[in-house]
């Protein structure tokens, strides 16, 4: 299935300035026009949507989804918000965004470009000296946003990845500069920035550091003042250090293997927010997505960056992923064409105990936001994501 490879990396964190040699011309990016999906979308099917949520496997404790658009609105839940009390999943529950935070960071960088405070074609080394190794080639700022930067990623040796290690270290603080410094010790995945695409987090750590260097403020503060407050996202926060989730929410858990066999669910709702630590709701994400696609946050030139997918190979891509072997990410967004021909744009995210996503047709005719609570340490349960997407944007009955 084209959406079977909707990847979602486990989160991590960001850094920042001298002149560098001129950058080679950026790779060609395919232009995307606004397609109208009125005749392509099936009728909203509440029964199919609820069935999709209810198909969640035992390793997911709770599910929440919202569908919006001119054809109608629907919200649904499944499972429990608290395995101890059995409390139901709150329909207005808050959750951690993980890598969906990348879309907010990309928007802020594009706003700074619109303000002529950063040139997307210039190397990031110009704005962030002494952050990347001297041996690196010039890396255009744009490539940070569209995952073509060639920057290496953190490995399992850099941060705890086992369930017991995650529990023990969930309150540890990892500054962005530290994460970048650890990542760049590894080999780069390809040599020429802009010539291939591969999903990762390091480019966005650097992008967040860039925001901080250009503005003099934490990137979370810039997200708050530039996006959260103007859009009145009242249930959305971008904490720098706060470990709790304010307001109604489902708990996040991780299954920790026990010496005698089996596993025990450990509540990891409270954790260091890290680089993907934003908290929001399905309603607020829907409001953000709508404003972003309608051009309320960006002028036309920078708005176009959201829908310009580089015309380059995807590293390790296959015919079964959304790009069929070619790139499928733009600046902070993912593009996928579903079996019925409908193209959706959005982003997935995950952190320990929480997985979420937001998707919409380009014309905003139908929009989906969702969250669920995996006990496997984070990451997408692709079968569940596929069922929710199919029930939202295609006719799951095949008629």
CB 279 within 8 A of CB 245: yes
Domain with residue 220: its CATH number is 3.40.710.10
The answer, yes or no, to whether residue 393 has pLDDT greater than 80, is yes
CB within 8 Å of 255: residues ≥ 6 apart: 59, 163, 263, 264, 265, 266, 375, 376
Lowest mean pLDDT among 67-76, 213-222, 243-252, 372-381: 372-381
Asked whether residue 23 is assigned to any structural domain, the reply reads no
Task: Give me the pLDDT at residue 15, please.
Answer: 23
CB within 8 Å of 283: residues ≥ 6 apart: 66, 92, 235, 369
Asked whether residue 399 is assigned to any structural domain, the reply reads no
Read off the pLDDT of each residue in 152-160 and give the average, rounded to a whole number: 93
d(CA 168, CA 271): 10
The answer, yes or no, to whether residue 8 has pLDDT greater than 70, is no
Task: Give me the pLDDT at residue 36, please.
Answer: 76
H or E element in which residue 341 lies: none
Give the E-state strand segments of the chain in sequence order.
29-30, 60-68, 74-79, 95-96, 253-257, 263-267, 279-280, 309-310, 334-337, 343-351, 354-361, 367-374
Task: Give me the pLDDT at residue 305, please.
Answer: 97
Encode 122-134: b = buried (16+ Cβ within 10 Å), e = exposed.
bbbbbbbeebbee
Structure tokens, 21:
């040699």
pTM: 0.91
Structure tokens, 46:
């509440």
Structure tokens, 201:
């987090």
Asked whether residue 127 is assigned to any structural domain, the reply reads yes
pLDDT tens sequence across 288-331: 999 999 999 999 999 999 999 999 999 999 998 999 999 999 99
The answer, yes or no, to whether residue 380 has pLDDT greater than 50, is yes
Structure tokens, 114:
């619109």
**Continuous H helices in 135-225:** 141-145, 163-168, 176-183, 202-215, 219-223
d(CA 74, CA 53): 12
Matching residue, tokens 């990847």? 7
Task: Give me the pLDDT at residue 208, please.
Answer: 97
pLDDT tens sequence across 12-71: 222 222 222 333 333 333 344 566 776 789 999 999 999 999 999 999 999 999 999 998
Task: Give me the pLDDT at residue 28, please.
Answer: 38
Asked whether residue 327 is assigned to any structural domain, the reply reads yes
Structure tokens, 7:
């990847």
Asked whether residue 14 is assigned to any structural domain, the reply reads no
Structure tokens, 190:
């390809």
CB 342 within 8 A of CB 394: yes
Encode 345-368: b = buried (16+ Cβ within 10 Å), e = exposed.
bbbbbbbbbbbbbbbbbbebbbbb
What is the span of the domain harbouring residue 375?
Answer: 29-393
State the pLDDT confidence band at 3, using cuts at 50, 70 and 90. very low
Q: What Rg, from alpha-carbon coordinates, does the chain have?
A: 20
**Continuous H helices in the chain:** 46-54, 101-114, 124-127, 141-145, 163-168, 176-183, 202-215, 219-223, 282-293, 300-305, 382-393
Catalytic residue numbers, as ranges: 99
Task: Write phi, then psi, for 37 (nearest 5 degrees).
Answer: -110, 15
CB 263 within 8 A of CB 257: yes
Asked whether residue 6 is assigned to any structural domain, the reply reads no
Asked whether residue 298 is assigned to any structural domain, the reply reads yes
Task: Give me the pLDDT at residue 377, please.
Answer: 80
Task: Give me the pLDDT at residue 399, please.
Answer: 54
Asked whether residue 24 is assigned to any structural domain, the reply reads no
The answer, yes or no, to whether residue 184 has pLDDT greater than 90, is yes
Task: Give me the pLDDT at residue 24, please.
Answer: 33
Total structural domains within the chain: 1
Strand, helix or coil for residue 3: coil
Structure tokens, 212:
């901080």
Read off the pLDDT of each residue in 177-197 and give the average, rounded to a whole number: 97
Task: Give the largest CA-CA distance in the chain.
Answer: 61
CB 399 within 8 A of CB 393: no
pLDDT tens sequence across 25-35: 333 333 445 66
């Amino acid at each position: 299935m084209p959406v079977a490879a909707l990847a979602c990396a486990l989160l991590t964190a960001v850094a920042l300035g001298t002149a560098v040699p001129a950058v080679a011309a950026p790779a060609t990016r395919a232009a995307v026009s606004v397609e109208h999906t009125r005749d392509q979308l099936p009728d909203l099917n509440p029964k199919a949507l609820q069935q999709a949520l209810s198909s969640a496997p035992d390793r997911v404790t709770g599910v929440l989804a919202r569908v919006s658009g001119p054809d109608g609105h629907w919200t649904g839940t499944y499972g429990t918000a608290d395995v101890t009390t059995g409390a139901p999943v709150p329909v207005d529950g808050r959750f951690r965004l993980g890598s969906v935070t990348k879309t907010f960071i990309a928007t802020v960088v594009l706003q700074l470009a619109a303000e002529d405070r950063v040139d997307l074609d210039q190397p990031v080394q110009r704005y962030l000296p002494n952050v990347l190794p001297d041996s690196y080639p010039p890396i255009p700022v744009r490539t940070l946003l569209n995952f073509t930067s060639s920057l290496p990623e953190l490995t399992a040796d850099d941060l705890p990845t086992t369930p017991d290690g995650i529990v023990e270290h969930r309150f540890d603080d990892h500054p962005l500069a530290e994460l970048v410094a650890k990542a760049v010790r590894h080999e780069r995945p390809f040599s020429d920035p802009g010539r291939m695409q591969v999903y990762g987090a390091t480019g966005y750590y650097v992008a967040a550091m860039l925001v901080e260097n250009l503005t003099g403020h934490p990137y979370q503060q810039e997200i708050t003042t530039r996006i959260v407050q103007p859009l009145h996202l009242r249930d959305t926060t971008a904490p720098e250090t706060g470990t709790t989730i304010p307001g109604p929410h489902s708990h996040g858990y991780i299954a920790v293997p026990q010496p005698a066999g089996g596993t025990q669910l450990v509540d990891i709702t409270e954790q260091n927010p890290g680089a993907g630590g934003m908290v929001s709701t399905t309603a607020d994400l829907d409001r953000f997505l709508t404003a972003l696609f309608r051009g309320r946050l960006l002028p036309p030139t920078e708005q176009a960056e959201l829908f310009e997918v580089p015309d380059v190979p995807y590293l390790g891509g296959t015919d079964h992923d959304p790009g069929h072997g070619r790139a499928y990410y733009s600046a902070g967004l993912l593009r996928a064409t579903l079996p019925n021909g409908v193209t959706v744009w959005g982003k997935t995210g995950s952190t320990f105990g929480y997985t979420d996503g937001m998707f919409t047709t380009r014309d905003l005719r139908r929009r989906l936001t969702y969250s669920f609570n995996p006990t496997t340490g984070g990451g997408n349960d692709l079968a569940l994501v596929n069922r929710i997407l199919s029930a939202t944007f295609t006719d799951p009955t095949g008629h």
